[in-house]
Structure 1
Amino acid sequence: MFNLLYKELRLAAHPNLFIFTALGVLVIVPAYPYGMVFLFGCLAPFITFMYGRETNDIHYTALLPVKKSDTVKAKFLLVILAQITQLMISLPFAVLRLYVLPEGNPAGIEANVAYYGFGFITYAIFNYIFLTYFFKSAHKVGNAFILAIIPASLVVLLMEVIVHFPGFVWLDRVEPSFLVRQLPILFVGIVIYIVSIFAAFKVSVRRFERVDL
């Protein structure tokens, strides 16, 4: 499995995957809609899968002495690795902005606990729709992306807008007392992300087994 993931990183991953993964640093930018970070985390796999389609990566992998399920697993691990790395990169900058930009983010939600919870939900929705649809044919990347990015974008839009309503201002705060209130959102987001990955993997393997390469 490690060899397949290594192959994904060295051969299948488009350079933009690494660039967009590094864009977790955008949470330090003043007056910027930080939800865009998650959309970049969705755009990166799309570009990589599109690149893989043009280079016949799936067909090449099928010629290797591996099971179809391992091919799916390698793609899943690549997407998960990119998204979690993006979040990890953003964390120190989210902390740093508390000191260098104490006035907050007028453009939308702060990079706080609730923000990361919504991020996991955004990734979960995108991954499930995108990956399960892609492995239905192993080449319709554009259709899979359009179907997946619309609901993912709606979650980001909701996250950015809802903090401007009086009853939800606690979602935009970074004080410890408010962060405790936001913890359930982070917990639910992580659970949804994990469950969606396992569910999407099962569906994707089943669909990919039927694909005639």
Structure 2
Amino acid sequence: MISNLLYKELRLAAHPNLFVFTLLGALVIVPAYPYGMVFLFGCLAPYITFMYGRETNDIYYTALLPVKKRDTVKAKCLLMVLAQLAQLAISLPFAILRVSVLPNGNPAGIEANVAYYGFGLMIYAVFNVIFLTQFFGTAHKVGKAFLLAVIPATLGVVAMEVLVHFPVFYWLDGVSAEEMVRQLPILIIGIAIYVIGILLAYRVSAKRFEQVDL
């Protein structure tokens, strides 16, 4: 049932911009570019999709199907996770290529390294928890949910980009083997926070959505 709902999300509910913004993971190959913008695009894409779903009465349509409300929430969560992880996966070969071709670092902010992906997962987790729980509290106030979620996500991106300019945190911007090994705890923590975050977002969102009268 969940696979069928996810298929429906991809074919009917997902706005074309969701796929376009997912491909923007390739921006990590651009020299002197704030790579944190990639994560903000990853937050903007679900917002556009949810807004599109509101205008097309997607939630109401899904509620008419023989599925539980919890499954509707689960499908939306999986759609967001799929888009965000696909964006990161797409960015990886471009990040490797960028370091190989332009090894002089990124003057605009953090390099696309191990720490970058760890911080990105944390940013996604914060956005997902706030956006999903706020949206499913009403199932139609997309703009308010996005605004509440994107502000802390943006602050996280700014902090990530600024942090590497302090000499004490020079290793967060490194791409050498030694520096990236040192960055591994950030990636591990990022993965843990992302997994816990999406599970928490699902549980709270499902509970709230079950109380919404469509």
- Classify the TM-score, shorter chain: over 0.9
User: 4+ residue stretches of structure 1 with deviation over 2 A?
Assistant: none
Distance 1:155 1:181 in 2: 21
Aligned partner of 2:21 in structure 1 is 20
Aligned partner of 1:10 in structure 2 is 11
Tell me the C-alpha RMSD between the 2 structures: 0.4
Aligned partner of 1:145 in structure 2 is 146
Aligned partner of 2:171 in structure 1 is 170
1:100 CA drift (Å): 1.2
Q: Which sections of structure 2, spanning at least 5 residues, go unmatched?
A: none
Distance 2:106 2:64 in 1: 50
Distance 2:209 2:148 in 1: 19
Matches within 5 A, 1:67-86: 67-86=68-87
State the percentage of identical aligned residues: 74
Aligned partner of 2:130 in structure 1 is 129
Q: Deviations over 1:23-56 (max 9, x none)?
A: 0000000000000000000000000000000000
Give the TM-score, by structure 2 length. Answer: 0.99
Distance 2:32 2:40 in 1: 17
Aligned partner of 2:63 in structure 1 is 62
**Mean alpha-carbon deviation: is it higher for 82-91 or for 99-108?**
99-108
Aligned partner of 2:119 in structure 1 is 118
> Amino acid of the residue matched to residue 97 of structure 2?
L
> Amino acid of the residue matched to residue 139 of structure 2?
A
Aligned partner of 2:200 in structure 1 is 199
Distance 2:76 2:99 in 1: 36
1:8 CA drift (Å): 0.3
> Amino acid of the residue matched to residue 140 of structure 2?
H
Q: Which sections of structure 1, spanning at least 5 residues, go unmatched?
A: none
Give the TM-score, by structure 1 length. Answer: 0.99
Aligned partner of 1:181 in structure 2 is 182
Aligned residue-pair number: 213
